Amino acid sequence: MLVSDEYIIERVEIDERELDRDPAGVQLRYNQTEPGIIRDGVDGIAVIDESDEQYRVDFWGYAFGRLYVKSEGVEEIGQKLTSNDGEIPSWILDSETVNADDPPWWVPESVAIEPTVTCNNCTETVSAQEGLTPRNLPPSIDGPVVCQTCWDRQ
């Protein structure tokens, strides 16, 4: 469930092809950190301001569609950014769609616009999007997070 029913103004049936490939608004991306796992949820969400009372939300992935929601619904979407699947944020803002100096009101203050993680193998700090938490890491690696480069070398 993307947004609680009580905050949904309208649910629009839409063909996947009708969704813009590059929608306007601020976008969130699901951050898949386990290589080889196929997820059946939503991979991307775009929040488009229509007015103070109404926002358009396009979402895509295995599930897709369009919602018109109240501001409380957008606040719920913002809360996803603080959901943390262990070491790495599960949802990340697409930094190209957001002004880091003036993020939207619904992004919680504690959220980094471009979060980073530290690789437990090479100790490099990388973008959270490059951080992986594979299930079967070799025991020589002292922690759950590896960067893409180290993983590719396995």
| Cα–Cα distance, 28 to 78 (Å, whole number) | 9
- In the block, tokens 């504690």 appear at 110
Binding window for Zn ion (CB under 5 A); candidates: 15-23, 36-44, 87-95, 117-125: 117-125
User: What does the buried/exposed string (b/e) look like for 102-119 if buried means 16 or more CB atoms within 10 Å of the residue's CB?
Assistant: ebeebbeeebeeebebeb
- In the block, tokens 């629009």 appear at 12
In terms of CB distance, is 84 or 149 closer to Zn ion? 149
In terms of CB distance, is 99 or 154 closer to Zn ion? 154
The only residue of 114, 122, 152, 153 in contact with Zn ion, by rule CB under 5 A: 122
Near Zn ion in 129-148, by CB under 5 A: 147
In terms of CB distance, is 68 or 151 closer to Zn ion? 151
**CA nearest 106: which of 25, 11, 9, 30?**
25
The only residue of 33, 121, 129, 133 in contact with Zn ion, by rule CB under 5 A: 121
* Interaction site with Zn ion (CB under 5 A): 119, 121-122, 147, 150
